[in-house]
Amino acid sequence: MGNMEVSRNQCRVLPCSGIMVWCTLWLLLPAVAGAQFSLTGEYRPRSEMSHGYGTLAGEDQKGSLFTSQRTRLNLLFSSEHIRTGLVLQDVRVWGNQPQLVENQEKAVSLHEGWAEILFTPVFSLKAGRQELNYDDHRIFGNVGWTQQARSHDLFLLKYEKEVKVHLGVAHHENSNRRNNRYDGPDAYKDMQFAWFHKSWKNESLSLLFLNNGVPVISGGEQETRYAQTLGGRLTVKPASAVSLAANFYYQTGKDNLNRDVNALNLLAELSAKMNPTATATFGYEYLSGNDAGEISENKAFNPLYGTNHKFNGFMDYFYVGGQHINGPGLNDIYFKWACSRFKKVQWNLHIHYFGAAAALPGAARKYLGTEVDWDLTWTVNPAAKISLGYSHMFAGESMELVKPGGDHQSTQNWAYLMFSVTPAFLK
């Protein structure tokens, strides 16, 4: 985002449809001298072929082919005293709207709409609808892969200097404001969190405390039941070509059934640069789960508002869209290879070995399956990318216990082709 500069000559050569916009901005320039403004866009159609994406396909199930699209208009403004952001978004599946379209509710939505007051250069308050992205996106992430993505309505107090501290507070009510009730679509009624981050030369440490309140009806009255997530992330770079990362999160409190929560998430990862164009990553993640028949205590870890598509396989069998929550948990042993031998092309290969973390019904084997993900991205130019990928799930027999209704012996695969164009209309 650079300084906004519009010359009189630009106004003369623009077509009539653009003269008024550009010249109005030019006339307003003295009022925002020293400020920065950008107007950018995003056009992202993605075609997907699916036969077993997200859950097991049946024996006679046919594959599907569809195209979805995200279209965005991003307006950002920054000055010495304030920052603002406005992101308008339209998400659709090709063919779900008639050609002769009339005005439709929520055809265009507000993905982000926030303002930030800078009390000092390092201390600010940000309020409105905004994305939350912290660390590796395990607990808070914008889920950018999904076309709609995720954003929150909240206040965010920020201190950012050698140490970064963020304090977030959200409270939701909607149709019934007389009795402090919330019957809306969101995952929480009340949420507070504190995030601390400190970086050194070769290390970084983040700590997170999250208090998540879910509304439930008990005895005809609504009450909020809170569960807490505590933990953090540590990264270390012992050598120029080697990096280590570890996550630890513990969950306690009450779930929506008023059971005690006692859950754990662990991650350990080693990345090594094999040569100037290739990086290998070995990792293990553990998410605790409930044994079959467990009803007295909830031991299933919930990654809450993270970018789950990033972690446990691109076919989204686990934790995406609420799947696998309160289930048998997960052991994920994985290998990732990233290569950028060609200047504008990068490809990745991921292999995941999945197993249940808790006991399955009937003492079934804990092995759930092995997934192979491959993707390639061609950066055509700074404003355009073309991506394609293919994933295959080699499901084990026990996968039918956590994904009922399908056949583990059927072919389970998924592929996509995506275009991403991000023009800068004004910078």
Residue 32 has pLDDT above 60, yes or no: no
Q: Which domains can be identified in the chain, with CATH numbers? A: 1-34 (no CATH), 35-426 (2.40.160.100)
**382-404 as b/e, with b when 16 or more CB fall inside 10 Å?**
eeebebbbebbbebbebbbbbbe
Q: What is the pLDDT of residue 2?
A: 42
Q: What is the overall mean pLDDT for the chain?
A: 90
Residue 15 has pLDDT above 80, yes or no: no
pTM assigned to the model: 0.89
Longest CA–CA separation in the chain, Å: 78
What is the dihedral angle through the alpha carbons of 262, 267, 268, 272, rounded to the nearest 10 degrees? -170
Percentage of residues in the chain having pLDDT higher than 90: 78
137-141, 154-158, 293-297, 402-406, range with the lowest pLDDT: 293-297
Binned at pLDDT 50, 70 and 90, residue 33 comes out as low
Q: Which residue has the higher pLDDT, 53 or 106?
A: 53
Q: What is the pLDDT of residue 98?
A: 84
Residue 56, burial from CB neighbour count under 10 angstroms (0-12, 13-18, 19+): buried
Q: What is the pLDDT of residue 187?
A: 82
27-31, 209-213, 258-262, 356-360, range with the lowest pLDDT: 27-31
Percentage of residues in the chain having pLDDT higher than 70: 91
CA dist., res. 373 & res. 66, Å (int): 20
Binned at pLDDT 50, 70 and 90, residue 105 comes out as low
What's the Cα-to-Cα distance from 171 to each of 114, 152, 155, 251, 346, rounded to whole Å? Answer: 16, 11, 9, 21, 42
Q: What is the pLDDT of residue 106?
A: 61
